[in-house]
């Protein structure tokens, strides 16, 4: 099976490339930084025609944190809508047999506390993720439409917030964990008396180590077909305040945490029931939320020698950290990595070193 990885130079994309390489599976990396703009229909069709993939792992998207989402909703809508439409059309034209499509857990209604697949259409999304969440639901609609009319098989895996080597560190664009690591590291360096944390600190988030998320996507290539959403997660999370306290301790920062309730919290809960995903992806055991934190988190690992305090590794998880160096797996805004994946499985020592970060 020849696999085309979209968004291959991003945060998730690089982890997916590494997972494929470890299994000796042939793949072709694609990204805006590698000359493939999926927003342009002609370029999308040309890429698929050249790569001739039998399967696609779609790590391409255009997204940011809460601040970015509020400031750039039209850009998020436009870029994602064009990419999604072009990807499905090009895949159909090229005769692709399976698309593995990662979906953010922000597609779930704001009022839910534990996300279950059967409740994904049961209410409005939180305003902070409305545009991006609906764009990811649009990708499911595209999958359903192309399956119904053309028989194109897409597996839609709903992933929790991911973290790990190669994560994104910009205050306006990173998610909670990356933003906190950046803030506390900077405060320690500058000797600041306190660190401002957005919101009340009460929202609960489940976190998925990026290598576990990548492994789920790779396993999705061979999983049984289904048109339903499939969650990947453990139904457990930590509050933003708890997370801030963990980061403060890991960084070794002695100042105060200053909550700023004038800033938005986002959705109150984001935890997912991963029973369906564990069964479909042949996972015999569950993996722990925040597995490997803080020792395997970029920005913290060089600062502290603290050992990982959260157990419960995925059945497929390696015990050795493999850092991926670069930015998030998003076509367009966040697709400029310093170490792009190489074609054909990266079997050489040099190719593997290109992915070594952290």
DSSP conformational letter for 284: S
Does any domain span residue 32? Answer: yes
pLDDT at 68: 84
Q: What 3-state DSSP class applies to 30?
A: strand
Checking if the pLDDT of 282 tops 70, the result is: yes
Given this model, what pLDDT does residue 175 score? 65
Q: pLDDT tens digits for 70-125?
A: 899 999 999 999 999 999 999 999 999 999 999 999 999 999 989 999 999 999 99
Whether 146 is catalytic:
no
Q: Does residue 198 fall inside a structural domain?
A: no
Catalytic option among 108, 132, 146, 163: 132
Rounded-to-integer distance, Cα 178 and Cα 170, Å? 8
pLDDT score at 164: 86
Q: Which CATH number characterizes residue 158's domain? A: 3.40.50.720
Give domain status of residue 137, yes or no: yes
Residue 175 to residue 195: CA distance in whole angstroms? 16
pLDDT digits (tens, 9 = 90+) for 269-278: 889 999 999 9
Query: Quick count: other Cβ atoms within 10 Å of Cβ 25?
Result: 16
Q: Which pLDDT does position 287 carry in this prediction? A: 53
In which band, very low, low, confident or very high, does the pLDDT at 173 lie, cut at 50, 70 and 90? low
pLDDT band at 142 (very low <50, low <70, confident <90, very high): very high
- Band of the pLDDT at 185, cuts 50, 70, 90? very high
pLDDT the model gives residue 174: 65
Q: How far is residue 62's CA from residue 147's CA, in Å, rounded to a whole number?
A: 24
H helix runs in the chain, sequence order: 11-22, 41-51, 66-71, 73-94, 130-150, 176-190, 210-219, 240-251, 275-280, 349-354
**Pick from 11, 44, 13: nearest CA to 29:** 13
Q: What is the CA radius of gyration of the chain?
A: 19
Q: Count other C-beta atoms under 10 Å from residue 311's C-beta.
A: 9
Mean local confidence (pLDDT), 20-46: 96
Examine residue 182 and state whether it is found in any structural domain, yes or no: no
pLDDT for position 165: 83
d(CA 283, CA 272): 16
pLDDT single digits (tens) 300-312: 443 333 222 222 3
Task: Please report whether residue 179 resides in a domain.
Answer: no
C-alpha 276, offset from chain centre = 19
Instruction: Produce one character per residue of 168-200: b if its CB has 16 or more CB atoms within 10 Å, e if not.
Output: bbeeebbbbbbbbbbbbbebbeeeeeebebbbb
Examine residue 243 and state whether it is found in any structural domain, yes or no.
no
| Structure letter (DSSP) for residue 34 | G
Under the banding of pLDDT at 50, 70 and 90, the label for residue 355 is very low
Q: What is the pLDDT of residue 89?
A: 98
196 falls within a domain = no
Residue carrying the six token digits 């664009």: 173
Determine, yes or no, domain membership for 241: no
Residues 340, 34, 333, 97, Cα dihedral to 10°: -90
| CA distance linking residue 114 with residue 347, whole number of Å | 41
pLDDT at 38 over 90: yes
| Domain boundaries, position 111 | 3-164+207-236+269-286+318-354
Strand-pairing partners, residue 209, are 163
Number of domains in the chain: 1
Q: Report pLDDT for 323.
A: 27
pLDDT at site 121: 97
């Amino acid at each position: 099976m020849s696999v085309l990885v979209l968004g291959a130079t991003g945060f998730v994309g690089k982890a997916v490339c590494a997972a494929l390489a470890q299994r000796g599976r042939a793949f072709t990396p694609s990204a805006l930084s590698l000359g493939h703009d999926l927003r342009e229909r002609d370029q999308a069709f040309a890429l698929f025609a050249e790569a001739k993939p039998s399967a696609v792992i779609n790590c391409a998207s255009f997204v940011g944190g809460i601040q970015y989402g509020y400031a750039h909703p039209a850009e998020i809508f436009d870029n994602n809508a064009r990419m999604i439409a072009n990807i499905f059309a090009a895949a159909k034209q090229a005769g692709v047999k399976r698309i593995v499509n990662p979906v953010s857990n922000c597609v779930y209604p704001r009022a839910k506390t534990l996300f279950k697949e059967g409740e994904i259409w049961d209410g409005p999304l939180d305003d902070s993720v409305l545009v991006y969440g609906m764009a990811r639901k649009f990708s499911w609609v595209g999958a359903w439409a192309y399956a119904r009319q053309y028989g194109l098989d897409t597996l839609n895996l709903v992933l929790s917030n991911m973290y790990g080597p190669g994560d994104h560190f910009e205050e306006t664009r990173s998610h909670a964990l990356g933003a906190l690591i950046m803030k506390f590291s900077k405060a320690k360096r500058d000797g600041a008396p306190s660190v401002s944390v957005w919101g009340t600190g009460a929202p609960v988030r489940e976190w998925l180590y990026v290598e576990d998320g990548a492994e789920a996507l790779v396993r999705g290539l061979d999983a049984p077909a289904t048109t339903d959403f499939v969650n990947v997660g453990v139904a457990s999370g930590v509050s933003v305040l708890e997370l801030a306290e963990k980061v403060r301790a890991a960084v070794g920062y002695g100042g105060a945490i200053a909550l700023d309730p004038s800033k938005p919290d986002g959705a109150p809960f984001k935890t997912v029931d991963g029973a369906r995903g564990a069964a479909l992806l042949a996972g015999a055991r569950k993996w722990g939320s925040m597995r490997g934190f803080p020792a395997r988190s970029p920005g913290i690992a060089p600062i502290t020698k603290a050992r990982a305090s959260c157990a419960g590794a995925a059945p497929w998880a390696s015990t050795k950290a493999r850092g991926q160096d670069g930015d998030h797996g998003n076509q367009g805004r966040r697709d400029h990595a310093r170490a792009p994946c190489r074609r054909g499985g990266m079997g050489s020592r040099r190719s593997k070193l290109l992915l070594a970060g952290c």
